[in-house]
Chain A
């Protein structure tokens, strides 16, 4: 059975100007011990999905429809106290706003200890402190930094601290939202290696959210591609990167900068991003798509298995698959 299953999830933000359709009819499943990568355009709904799972959306956000099953329970049915049991102990998150997660008034060490003690009330504070030192070693932060305040951390140091915080209570699922944007390549590979080892040892699941395709290739077993609130492609990482089926995925991959000598310019996907206040009725990518036809303009394509794939796992939402 899947550990996490999103069924037909639609999410709106009600703003002064109107309704933003941030996530549209999204279905996705994740097994225990699996790693999933979510990639896609900036503003396509990746963080919104994560916040919906943890039920950390602002009051003016509305889950229009759908269910979020975690370990057999629909999280959308839980009361707030029940949800607090789930957060951090079962599902932890590395927020994209790494820096905002930390309170500027307290030392970082005190905050991690506090988190552990809140969620593991039976633990002694001495044991909690020992655990924090362990966590810091795990993410490669010197323990001297425990006594320092957030503003004394560099960007990458804060991100590491947030990864430590997410690991604090041994969760079953970690959602890591752009966890390594401030880390250099060496450290990124190592920190991700650490997370991956923990995932494999403990059978933990991880959802990585990132725009970094090369990083996804390293850590994600499966990848979901988001465009303007819609999951447009999903499949095993190797297949999807080698032979993308959706024109948006192909465009995104073509735009990845490479170290190859013959590449001298960055590619862009032509056209403008979707206005989520008034998304196109048909395929949301159609105004920018070179393969678009009248059908694309009128009917939204469903997410269906690609014909040429072997196991039916590789799916895409497009009338004219590549």
Chain B
């Protein structure tokens, strides 16, 4: 890999977003959901970084922060070295053109009063790209690339006249039509069947080769992440707990949460037992959390040390991997000494 491929396109520094909860009667302390809590990470030029983690852990919020769809409580996002919160005027316009978000919810992403054609052409119009005819051509082209063919049969339809997966592909087309340099794709193929999804993922791969598109791919589907991503970051309650090369993470997960996640992957052809929900499975929100490791209450390997210390820092373990866990540090040290 050449050296430019290693430069970060996006870097975050101690990025944090707390959502305030309204005060209830008799409550002394203000409460906050720590949706993103001190995330320091980078996305390298041309790479596809997967972001995985359980529901409510903060993936969407982190993605939105990266594209400046919301403002952080503290910390910063640097895009190509510039603090995105400080962008104004022309540089902000450039940023908006180069950076796109594919929304998790295709039912929210599209303006119901606009036709498919208008939805997809809008970014081109805002950025005054090409003539009307050229824009039409680009819209048609990107629609066929996401498998909405013949494109003519979709252009004049409204979002409500589309199936869920078709809407999702219109949202993808809209995000890609400007040939952006950085895309945050939030579960972009969750409603697509395996074959159509393969087509969309191939398109993303082609764009990477052609325009060196950098991708943050938010997903809960580890089988897809394995095939699509160069690196994977695992998030747990607002924090990154493990990050590394995709095959490393999937073959040799180090963090106890990553291991737990991998064990649950269903496999075709083998009927896995579905078990009932246990109390411990309830959704977690980090509301004014304890300073300890966020995973403590569920961790199978936690011990005294974990109960006393702060949340473990994300620490590098050779090569590309970093893990936030005290116990893993211990096991690795033992291994390397042996």
Contact = CB atoms under 8 A, between A and B. Distances in A.
Interface of A: 13, 15-17, 39-43, 46-48, 58, 96-97, 99-100, 137-142, 144-145, 152, 154-157, 160, 177-178, 181-194, 196-197, 211, 213-215, 217-219, 238, 241-242, 251-253, 255-259, 263-269, 272-273, 275-277
A86 B16 CA distance: 47
Given A184-B54, A185-B265, A155 B187 contact: yes
A255 B194 contact: yes
B271 A217 contact: yes
B220 interface: yes
Contacts of B283: 140-142, 145, 156-157, 160
Interface of B: 19, 52-56, 60, 104-105, 107-108, 147, 149-150, 153, 156-157, 160-166, 168-169, 187, 190-199, 201-202, 220-224, 226-227, 250, 260-261, 264-279, 281-285, 287
Given A139-B277, A252-B193, A266 B201 contact: yes
Given A189-B274, A218-B271, A241-B268, A155 B195 contact: no
B266 A211 contact: no
Nearest to B155: A17
A258 B268 contact: yes
B108 to A, nearest CB: 6
A273 B275 CA distance: 37
Contacts of B107: 96-97, 99-100
A186 B54 contact: yes
B193 A189 contact: no
B165 A211 contact: yes
B156 A17 contact: yes
A146 B105 CA distance: 21
Contacts of A215: 266
Contacts of A253: 194, 268
Contacts of B195: 41, 251-252, 255, 267-269
A190 B166 contact: no
A182 B191 contact: no
A215 B223 CA distance: 13
A42 B250 contact: no
A156 B186 CA distance: 12
B219 to A, nearest CB: 9
Contacts of B165: 42-43, 211
Q: Which 3 A-B pairs have the closest CB atoms?
A: A156-B55, A42-B165, A193-B274
A186 B191 contact: no
A211 B269 CA distance: 16
Contacts of B187: 155, 181-182
Contact of A184 (B55, B197, B275, B278): B55
A47 B153 contact: no
B7 to A, nearest CB: 27
Given A42-B193, A187-B55, A252-B194, A266 B166 contact: no
B31 to A, nearest CB: 9
A20 B190 CA distance: 25
13 contacts: A42-B147, A43-B165, A142-B285, A154-B60, A157-B55, A181-B187, A181-B191, A185-B265, A186-B281, A189-B275, A193-B273, A193-B276, A268-B199
Nearest to B201: A266
Given A138-B277, A252-B195, 14 more contacts: A42-B165, A42-B191, A47-B163, A96-B164, A140-B281, A160-B55, A185-B222, A185-B264, A255-B197, A258-B267, A259-B265, A264-B227, A266-B197, A273-B149
A285 B105 CA distance: 30
A17 B264 CA distance: 46
A279 to B, nearest CB: 12
Nearest to A13: B161
Given A99-B105, A155-B104, A218 B220 contact: no
B282 A142 contact: yes
B269 A140 contact: no
B281 A267 contact: no
B223 A42 contact: no
Contacts of A251: 195
Contacts of B264: 184-186, 189
A196 B274 CA distance: 8
B117 to A, nearest CB: 12
A259 B272 CA distance: 15
Contact of A194 (B19, B196, B277): B277
A182 B190 contact: yes
Given A183-B55, A194-B276, A258 B223 contact: yes
A175 B192 CA distance: 19
A192 B282 CA distance: 14
B157 to A, nearest CB: 7
A152 B19 contact: yes
B268 A214 contact: yes
B194 A257 contact: yes
Given A43-B166, A96-B164, A259-B267, A190 B227 contact: no
